[in-house]
Amino acid sequence: MASLSSLCSYFNGDEELIRQMLRHWVRKGKVRQCKKAANCGVQCMQCRPSFTEIYEWV
């Protein structure tokens, strides 16, 4: 499991490019996007969306 932000740092790419790569693997059934907890982003609203966008290799 890794956040979009972590993947961007690892691959040294911008968020949209990494998202496109991930969509490819999601279509192939190799990666899935994890659901956020129901209370995430409700109280503090301080996390960047790329930190809470989590992907998992299946």
Q: Which pLDDT tens digits describe the chain residue by residue (58 residues)? A: 999 999 999 999 999 999 999 999 999 999 999 987 666 666 666 666 667 789 999 9
The reported pLDDT for the residue numbered 53 is 85
Query: In degrees rounded to 5, what are phi and psi of residue 43?
Result: -95, -55
Domain that holds residue 19: 2-57
The reported pLDDT for the residue numbered 36 is 72
Residue 16's alpha-carbon distances to 13, 37, 57, in angstroms, are 8, 23, 19
The reported pLDDT for the residue numbered 52 is 79
Task: Tally the domains of the chain.
Answer: 1
